[in-house]
Amino acid sequence: MKKWLVAASACLLLIGGLFPSSTQADSVIDEKLGVPIVVLGANLTDAEKESVKKSLGVDKEAEVEEITVDGNDLVKYIKDGNSQARMFSSAKITRQDEGKGLVIKIVTPDNITQVTNEMYATAMLTAGIEDAIVEVAAPKAVTGHSALVGIYKAYEVSGETLDTERTDVANDELNLATRFAKDSGIDQDKVAELLTEIKKAIADNKPVTKEEVEKIVNEQLKKFNIELSEADRQLLIELMDRIRALDIDFGKLSSQLSDMTSTIKEKFGDIDPGFWEKVQTFFEDLMNSIKSWFK
């Protein structure tokens, strides 16, 4: 029995050493940036709202501001939006100091079926949202599109003003991204990286004509070895030309997009292989040792 206890203790100690420790500081109210804002889809039932708030960790916050997003908000931020649209995906926004950038986390990944962290992030940069921690949740399987409208509303409630032309373009960008991933069979992360790189090239090269935008789009499609139908390629060119025409500080956007590119590449699968080798070797050695005790 003692040998088993020693083995278990050793196992726990090694795991504690391999994985970074994290301690939760006591939640306090940020008097400068304000409390986190939780925006809930209007079509959630009371039980679903409680489920979503639990997923978003609302109970761990010292205080939150809670608002609801519905079809009227959709019409405000998106041209030709449907005021009768049903809204389920929800979000929590925590403002950060300037320069901290965007941190996106889908906390119910099984229930947000079409939009990825990176798709949200690249669309939010187009809309002008920056320096915030954004968590997205839904109580059941939904596409995830309405969360973006909720994020817009929460951001403005926090004291910022968004350009509705930019939010409309950002929504079209999100729709196109999910369309490419769903209908064209392109990996979701690859779609997000493609859009990010095209926008970064626009920010760096400052094209002045649609033809120059088309050249950038074609170059990036070739770079990522992505083939689109002619109709989809034209949609992508039209979208990026609209982004070019927006009143955006492209110098600042270029820096944000560079950070975004790095974020997209930082996946769990990119962790140093030696880390996982250490874990595997440890457990193999441990099991071999345990087996030897009973010989």
Alpha carbon distance 25, 168 (integer Å): 38
pLDDT in single tens digits along all 295 residues of the chain: 544 444 444 443 344 444 444 434 446 777 777 899 999 999 999 999 999 999 999 999 989 999 999 989 888 888 777 888 889 999 999 988 888 888 889 999 999 998 888 888 888 888 888 888 999 999 999 988 888 899 889 888 888 888 888 888 988 999 899 888 888 788 888 888 899 899 889 988 889 999 999 999 999 999 999 999 999 999 999 999 999 998 776 566 556 655 555 555 554 344 344 443 444 454 445 445 444 444 4
CB 39 within 8 A of CB 67: yes
Cβ(146)–Cβ(43) below 8 Å: no
Tell me how far the alpha carbon of residue 27 is from its chain's centroid. 23
| Phi, psi of 270, deg, nearest 5 | -95, 5
Chain segment 134-167, per-residue pLDDT in tens: 999 999 999 888 888 998 898 888 888 888 888 8
Res 218: pLDDT: 96
- The pairing of strands 102-106 and 132-137 is parallel
pLDDT attached to residue 127: 87
pLDDT in tens, 201-245: 998 888 999 999 999 999 999 999 999 999 999 999 999 999 999
SS3 content of the chain, % helix, strand, coil (to 5): 55, 10, 35
Task: Determine contact, residues 224/189, Cβ cutoff 8 Å.
Answer: no
Helix, strand or coil for residue 170? Answer: helix
H or E segment at 136?
A: strand 132-137
- Contact criterion met (CB below 8 Å) for 97 and 243: no
Residue type, 109: P
CA distances from 21 to 9, 15, 16, 17, 124 (A): 17, 10, 7, 8, 31
- Count Cα atoms within 13 angstroms, Cβ side, for 125: 29
Residue 235 is predicted with a pLDDT of: 95
DSSP string, 71-122: HHHHHHHSTT--TT-----EEEEEE--TT--EEEEES-TTTB-S--HHHHHH
Give the separation between CA 17 and CA 11, rounded to whole angstroms: 10
**How high is the pLDDT of residue 240?**
95
pLDDT at site 276: 39
Q: Which long-range contacts (CB under 8 A, 24 or more apart) does 223-227 make?
A: 223/197, 224/190, 224/193, 224/194, 224/197, 226/186, 226/190, 226/194
Nearest to 82 by CA among 115, 43, 39: 43
Q: Find the helix or strand (DSSP H, E) in which 132 lies.
A: strand 132-137
Q: Quote the CA–CA distance of 40 and 267 in Å, as a whole number.
A: 29
End-to-end CA distance of the chain: 15
